Amino acid sequence: MSSTLPSYLTTSPPPISPPTTVRLQALYASTSSQRQSNPTGYSANVSWWSGLIEELLRAGYLGEDHLVLKVDEGLLSKLEWNGGKPRGIGGFVVCLFDV
C-alpha cells in the first residue's frame, strides 16, 4: 500500500477500497458549502464517510465499543492524514442521523 494513504486505509485488507489522493483531499476538505452547491457530491462524501466509519467501528479501530461513535478529538486524531484532520466530519455524522 502507498504511504500516502491514511493509516486506517493501509491495513490488510483495508476497511474499504482506498480512494485516490485527489479524492482523499476532497474528503478531508471543508464541505459545508458543498451541501448546498453540490448536493450530489456531498451525498457521495456522506456515503463514503458513513461506510468507512461503519467498517472502522466493526473492526474495532475506533475503540472497543462497536455501537457508540464518540465524535471528539480522539476520533479526529485516528482519522488524521498528512497532518490534517477531516474538516467536514461533523456535518457527515449529523447527516447519518437525518433519516
pLDDT in tens, the chain (99 residues): 344 678 888 888 888 888 998 899 888 888 778 888 999 988 898 889 988 988 888 888 888 777 778 888 998 999 999 888 998 888 888 887 765
pLDDT tens, position by position, 63-76: 877 777 888 899 89
For the chain, which residues make up each domain, given as ranges?
A: 8-13+22-96
Q: What is the pLDDT of residue 3?
A: 45
Mean pLDDT score across all residues of the chain: 84
The set of long-range contacts for 12-17, using a CB threshold of 8 Å and a minimum separation of 24, is: 15/52, 15/55, 15/56, 15/58, 15/59, 15/61, 16/48, 16/51, 16/52, 16/55
